[in-house]
Structure 1
Amino acid sequence: MQKNDLKTPYFMIDESKLVANLEKAKLLKELSGVKLVLALKCFSTWGVFDLIKPYLDGTTSSGPYEVKLGYETFGGETHAYSVGYSEDDVKDVAEICDKMIFNSQNQLAAYRHLVEGKASLGLRLNPGVSYAGQDLANPARQYSRLGVQWDHIDTAVFDNLDGVMFHMNCENKDEDAFIRLLNDISDKFGKHLDKLDWVSLGGGVFFTWPGYNIEKLAAALKTFSEKHGVQLYLEPGEAIITKTADLVVTVVDIVENEIKTAIVDSATEAHRLDTLIYDEPASIAEASEQGAHQYVIGSCSCLAGDQFCVTQFDEPLKIGQRLHITDSAGYTMVKLNWFNGLKMPSIYCERANGEIEKLNEFGYDDFKRSLSQWSVS
């Protein structure tokens, strides 16, 4: 199977780049003693879990189906968390998870009897401090529903709790900023953490970013763990799969209205939703900062503002030309949808030996079945 033979749009995961990130994760674990569980809300493409499993300790979820997926396809530790469980959700996953983390004291009180004796009990706490570039993704934003506010906690809860989870980072590439948050948690909660077995510090710690001081992060984590006598966990998502996959598209038309727009056979609304939600332009591998030819890279959806980016190229683009939208692993494949009835990208992995492996492809029957189903008598 050759890349030129693949029909666009498709995702291509690069095994070598993924393993490079995983080696950094391995180093962090060795230096700090922290355990790492993959955040399935960011990346759930289980066809490459064979690469990830040897490096990480398990998975963490944000909903019941992710719990089941982690349990069935990844193994190791299975952490279950949800902002709002139903009783049926708890019953469904209590038998297969290792840790059940509740978002509120109400949910903990209502459902702990379904979990005790089966899984370790945890509670999400909101320390009121965070690191996030956008308010939409800020766990400590005003009126946040995520976790128990630090000044609302019934301290008696710590007497019958195994662990807690803090998630207060989003794409934090600054180890010093993270360490300040860590120290704040220790100051606010330290006497309570001393009673626990484990503490999860959530995800959003971008320790695989170029230039990140892993050794400094590891030392801070180890000090915290030893100070409070707890097993620490991190829940990396983007840190594991950043810069490991491209969304490959084809230019299907070029139109002009003051500026040229290259329309491609994909859409942010359907295939790269975070580009639209967070208004963060995508990067194109073929682009050039000094290029003389400027284009909007526009989607083929009907949404007027649906575009990937505005960028420059050294040479004019041509209809039929392929473009590689880089860093397209996180929060993409988990958010694919059928808006406009667009063709959903296939998913491939380029193995280290150069072999191209198809992980999944989708067709009209998948689109049709997602909307209704009926039996023919």
Structure 2
Amino acid sequence: MTVNNKEQLKTPYFMINEDKLIQNLEKAKQLKELSGVKLVLALKCFSTWGVFDIIKPYLDGTTSSGPFEVKLGYETFGGETHAYSVGYSEDDVKEVADICDKLIFNSQTQLAAHRHLVEGKASMGLRLNPGVSYAGQDLANPARQFSRLGVQADHIDPTVFDSIDGVMFHMNCENKDADAFIELLDAISEQFGEHLNKLDWVSLGGGVFFTWPDYALEKLAAALKAFSEKHDVQLYLEPGEAIITKTTDLVVTVVDVVENGMKTAIVDSATEAHRLDTLIYNEPASIAEASDKGEHEYVIGSCSCLAGDQFCVTQFDEPLKIGQRLHILDSAGYTMVKLNWFNGLKMPSIYCERSTGEIQKLNEFGYDDFKRSLSQWSVK
């Protein structure tokens, strides 16, 4: 279904911009060409498969963090399907072993318990924890103290590398510094090099923000190529945010303005329900209509009942009015995959503005979706 006029769309809604998405994907293409690395989309960050037709020509496949993501990548994206989970059940492994190309276990005990279900079907790998990382917050730091993510160097049974095909490291979160990433790469090479030399492939995970403005893409590519040649492995990166950053707005409407010490504009959306990472990481959102030099300051408050649920505090050149629309910028990553029905709020619709100017509806939600998510049958 297509729509001709954005003003006809009812808020809240997500608007994905195809042209902006392609700008990121062209950088991904350049990185692949310069380095030889393969790129698989991290579905934990972005799974809106209605725009996979745009992404597929540029990337090599998908990677997952749970069984449903494996199935989604296999069915809607194709290419290579990588399966990983922090904790697989036997049923999980049986469910994905026949449809994935690479299956990565989080621990040596998981590998030992389930490898017989995978042999002859998929290439097997193990997640390693290098003990070093780049992450802005401890909550998202894969190498944090007592981390459960991957096998630490001093816990590895060296013989395991004789019976697996590859390994995965994930040690970055929004790393915009090529030099910082290269330091991690060097640390991995020094710590695990003798083991990597036995393998066919190495995944370096996600969190490498190579599409960020002025990122040293060529320096990154050279380092990746050198690492690949040194250890004779096929390298993978698992980009999520790097692919969809700055491509999508969450469009909302001001439904009320209240004042209690400072003015709060209440909008028809909520961080708790629609942009959860804003709340989890306490990282204020950015509003397209805001002005750094504006004289009118507002809290952009959610319409949920959670007292601290707000998008940001920011300034505007003119007073906000009820009925005015605001665009919450950069709202693709870890948003649509985390939508929930808190407070029974209306779920944002999802649209894509194509390069032709056409507005394509990808999804919309109603009361029946809310009701069905909670119970399907009644007990009598």
Q: TM-score, normalised by structure 1?
A: 0.99
In the aligned structure 1, how far is the partner of 2:210 from the partner of 2:290? 27
1:362 is aligned to 2:357: no
Q: 1:188 aligns with which of 188, 191, 201?
A: 191
Please, what is the CA RMSD of the aligned residues?
Answer: 0.9
2:17 corresponds to which of 14, 18, 22: 14
CA deviations 1:225-270 (Å, max 9, x no partner) are: 0000000000000000000000000000000001000000000000
Structure 2 CA distance for aligned equivalents of residues 56 and 329 of structure 1: 18
User: Given the alignment of the two structures, is residue 314 of structure 1 paired with residue 317 of structure 2, yes or no?
Assistant: yes
Unaligned runs of 5+ in 1: none
CA distance in 2, matches of 1:176, 1:298: 38
Aligned to 1:96: 99
The residue identity in structure 2 corresponding to 1:180 is E
* 1:278-327 Cα shifts (integer Å, max 9, x gaps): 00000000000000000000000000000000000000000000000000
Letter of the 2:199 partner, please give it.
Answer: L
Aligned residues with identical type, % of pairs: 87
For 1:48, the aligned partner's letter is V
- 1:376 CA displacement: 11
Question: Which residue of structure 1 aligns with residue 84 of structure 2?
Answer: 81
C-alpha distance in 2 between matches for 1:255 and 1:79: 49
Are 2:335 and 1:298 equivalent residues in the alignment? no
Aligned match for 1:145, one of 136, 145, 148:
148
**C-alpha offsets along residues 154-210 of structure 1, whole Å, 9 cap, x if unaligned?**
011001110000000000000000000000000000010000000000000000000
Counterpart selection for 2:246 from 238, 243, 246 = 243
Letter of the aligned partner of 1:148 in structure 2?
V
The answer to whether residue 273 in structure 2 is matched with residue 270 in structure 1 is yes
Q: Counterparts of 1:154 and 1:82 in 2: how far apart (Å)?
A: 21
Cross-structure match for 1:347: 350
Structure-1 separation of matches of 2:313 and 2:119: 54
Taking structure 2 as the reference length, what is the TM-score of the superposition? 0.99
Q: Give the aligned residue type for 2:248.
A: A
The 2-side partners of 1:20 and 1:150 are apart by 39
Q: How far is 1:81 from its partner?
A: 0.1
What does residue 154 of structure 1 align with?
157
Report matched runs for 1:195-234 at 5 Å. 195-234=198-237
| Superposed displacement of residue 375, structure 1 | 6.9
2:260 is equivalent to residue 257 of structure 1: yes
Runs of 4+, deviation exceeding 4 Å: none
Pairing 1:69–2:44 present: no
Distance 1:130 1:3, change over 3 A: same
1:370 partner SS: helix
CA distance in structure 1 between the partners assigned to 2:342 and 2:151 by the alignment: 36
Which amino acid letter does the alignment assign opposite residue 226 of structure 1? E
Q: Distance in 2 between matches of 1:153 and 1:350?
A: 49
Q: Post-superposition shift, 1:150?
A: 1.3
The whole-number CA distance in structure 2 between the counterparts of 1:127 and 1:151 is 10
Aligned to 1:373: 376
Q: Of 327, 331, 335, which residue of structure 2 is paired with 1:328?
A: 331
Report the counterpart of residue 337 of structure 1 in structure 2.
Answer: 340
Distance in 1 of aligned mates of 2:151 and 2:210: 27
- Please state how far the C-alpha of 1:272 moved relative to its aligned partner: 0.1
Counterpart-to-counterpart distance in 2, 1:116 and 1:22: 34
1:46-65 aligned within 5 A: 46-65=49-68
Q: Find the aligned partners of 1:376 and 1:15 in 2 and give their Cα distance.
A: 46
Distance (Å, rounded) in 1 between the aligned partners of 2:343 and 2:158: 51
Whether 1:25 and 2:28 are equivalent positions in the alignment is yes
CA deviations over 1:112-132 (Å, ceiling 9, x no partner): 000010000000000000000
* Distance across 2 between alignment mates of 1:318 and 1:343: 21
Q: What is the alpha-carbon distance in structure 2 between the residues aligned to residue 244 and residue 82 of structure 1?
A: 28
SS at match of 2:214: coil
1:125 aligns with 2:128: yes
Cα distance in 1 for partners of 2:6, 2:141 equals 39
Q: Distance in 1 between matches of 2:17 and 2:158?
A: 47
Q: 1:177 aligns with which of 162, 177, 180?
A: 180
Describe the SS at the equivalent of 1:357: strand
Q: Counterparts of 2:193 and 2:119 in 1: how far apart (Å)?
A: 25
Distance 1:375 1:35 in 2: 48
Q: Distance in 2 between matches of 1:353 and 1:86?
A: 45
